[in-house]
């Protein structure tokens, strides 16, 4: 199918214009009634002459522009005919270029989708999926993408954007040869890229980016090496300007908010689970002096106290398993602690002194140690009670503030008080 544009030229005038299209031919038709000078002009110009050989390539709106400049010295009775040749449907070349156009649209969609699908996955999330994914397939996908992104996110970004740009720039060339240029090629090219090259693939890859990115990671890797002369130096420049580290970590406050967001969902967390995890995150920041029992509220015994029936009843009434023992007349100078379980076989009629029992060591600690440090000490099994003092080891017992137990730390972790039989 041909399209002809007729241009009437006057003698001795130079005509300059732009021809839009592809594979253009110029056909000069001269009147036979003219003299020999006209015939000479005809042979000088050529008939016909293919303009694409002398075209100046430009590309506004994805079209080729051919600059034409003619100067005719003789009068021309017939018009100049500009012939635009298209490839009509049914020809082999038409279907070849149609297949190429469709392939370019799909390729552009693939690169656009991979750009969003791969680069939207942060390294921390991929590492979590690699170690604790729901299935082995998901863990394999994450591992494959981690290996790909180890090349550098800026390199992957440069490769995908360059590939997408090449595809989008090449598409109008083939559509123009099929449709004959004009606004139809512009509209179809824009609509195809918008729907099938942007919206649909990015929507799919945004939801299934892990699986799709993993499947096409070998293709991306090949493109990395094929385009490395251009994309690798560009990625290094971006690394230098913007930095190459893209790891994402969360602060403790952010993790607490993150936990609260999981009260609802596929596997919602229970309130107690959230409270315990939040308390554990704060355990290293809270000081042991914040959870201790003040020394004036501590039940304690003097080393010279006679353990008779009355004292046994008081011990049972308080319900403590460990009792701090202090020197006579100095209630803040502790010499050890009495384990109540040692009184099981004791006969109150014997009337032993507290100092007659085998006392356990009562460790001391500074008030500014964290609850986490206290928990670490309790886990050693050496003691489940600490004396909190500003002057550990002071022989006069000065600076004693209170005592902290393993139960106090556990209550802080649980976020609520532990009620036992004696409370």
Look at residue 250 in the predicted model and tell me its pLDDT. 78
pLDDT score recorded for residue 44: 36
What distances in angstroms separate CA 3 from CA 21, 83, 180, 304, 370, one per listed residue? 11, 6, 9, 120, 86
SS3 category, 305: coil
**Spatial CA neighbour of 291 closest among 373, 395, 407, 143:** 407
Q: pLDDT digits over 1-57, tens only?
A: 444 445 555 544 555 554 444 444 444 444 443 444 433 343 333 334 333 333 333
Q: What pTM value is reported for the model?
A: 0.56
194 close to 201: Cβ distance less than 8 angstroms = no
Helix (H, G, I), strand (E, B) or coil at 52: helix
- The pLDDT, as a whole number, for residue 197 is 80
- Higher-confidence residue of 88 and 98: namely 98
Q: CA-CA distance, 368 to 346, in Å (whole number)?
A: 39
pLDDT in tens, 331-351: 899 999 999 998 988 999 989
Structure-model confidence comparison of residues 330 and 15, the more confident one: 330
Burial (CB count within 10 angstroms: exposed 0-12, middle 13-18, buried 19+), residue 2: exposed
Q: How high does pLDDT run on average in the chain?
A: 78
Gap between the terminal Cα atoms of the chain: 99
What one-character-per-residue DSSP string does 30-66 give? --TTS-HHHHHHHHHH-SSEEGGGG-----GGG--EE
Looking at residue 420, its pLDDT comes to: 63
Four-residue CA torsion sign, 128, 132, 137, 139 = positive
Q: Determine whether domain 288-414 maps to CATH 3.10.580.10.
A: yes
Side-chain-side CA neighbours of 236 within 13 Å: the count stands at: 5
Match 């015994």 to its residue by tokens: 301
Lowest mean per-residue pLDDT among 83-92, 235-244, 292-301: 83-92
pLDDT in tens, 226-280: 999 999 999 999 988 888 766 667 788 888 888 888 888 778 888 888 888 888 8
How far apart are the C-alpha atoms of 26 and 52, rounded to whole Å? 10
Segments making up each domain of the chain, as ranges: 2-85, 92-242, 252-279, 288-414
pLDDT at 231: 94
């Amino acid at each position: 199918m041909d399209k002809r544009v007729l241009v009437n030229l006057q003698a001795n005038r130079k005509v300059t214009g732009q021809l839009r299209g592809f594979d253009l031919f110029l056909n000069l038709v001269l009147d036979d009634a003219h003299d020999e000078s006209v015939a000479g002009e005809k042979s000088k110009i050529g008939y016909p002459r293919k303009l694409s050989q002398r075209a100046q390539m430009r590309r506004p709106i994805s079209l080729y522009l051919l600059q034409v400049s003619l100067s005719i010295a003789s009068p021309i009775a017939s018009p100049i005919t500009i012939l635009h040749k298209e490839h009509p449907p049914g020809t082999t070349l038409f279907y070849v270029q149609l297949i190429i156009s469709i392939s370019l649209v799909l390729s552009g969609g693939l690169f656009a989708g991979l750009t969003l699908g791969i680069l939207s996955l942060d390294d921390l999330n991929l590492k979590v999926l690699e170690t604790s994914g729901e299935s082995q397939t998901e863990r394999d996908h994450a591992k494959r993408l981690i290996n790909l992104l180890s090349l550098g996110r800026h390199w992957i970004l440069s490769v995908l954007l360059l590939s997408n740009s090449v595809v989008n720039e090449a598409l109008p060339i083939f559509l123009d040869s099929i449709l004959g240029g004009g606004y139809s090629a512009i509209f179809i090219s824009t609509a195809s890229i918008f729907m099938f090259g942007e919206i649909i693939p990015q929507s799919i890859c945004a939801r299934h980016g892990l699986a799709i990115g993993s499947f096409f990671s070998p293709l991306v890797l090949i493109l990395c090496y094929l385009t490395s002369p251009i994309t690798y130096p560009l990625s290094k420049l971006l690394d230098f300007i913007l930095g190459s580290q893209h790891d994402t970590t969360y602060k403790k406050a952010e993790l607490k908010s993150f936990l609260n967001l999981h009260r609802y969902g596929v596997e919602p967390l229970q309130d107690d689970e959230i409270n315990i995890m939040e308390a554990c995150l704060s355990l290293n920041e809270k000081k042991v002096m914040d959870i201790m029992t003040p020394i004036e509220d501590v039940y304690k015994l003097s080393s010279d106290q006679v353990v008779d029936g009355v004292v046994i009843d008081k011990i049972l009434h308080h319900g403590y398993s460990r009792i701090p023992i202090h020197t006579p007349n100095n209630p803040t100078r502790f010499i050890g602690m009495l384990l109540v379980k040692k009184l099981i076989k004791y006969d109150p009629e014997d009337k032993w002194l507290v100092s007659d029992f085998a006392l356990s060591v009562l460790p001391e600690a500074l008030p500014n140690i964290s609850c986490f440090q206290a928990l670490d000490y309790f886990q050693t099994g050496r003691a489940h009670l600490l004396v909190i003092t500003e002057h550990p080891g002071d022989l006069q017992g000065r600076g004693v503030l209170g005592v902290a137990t393993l139960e106090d730390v556990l209550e802080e972790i649980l976020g609520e008080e532990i009620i036992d039989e004696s409370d």
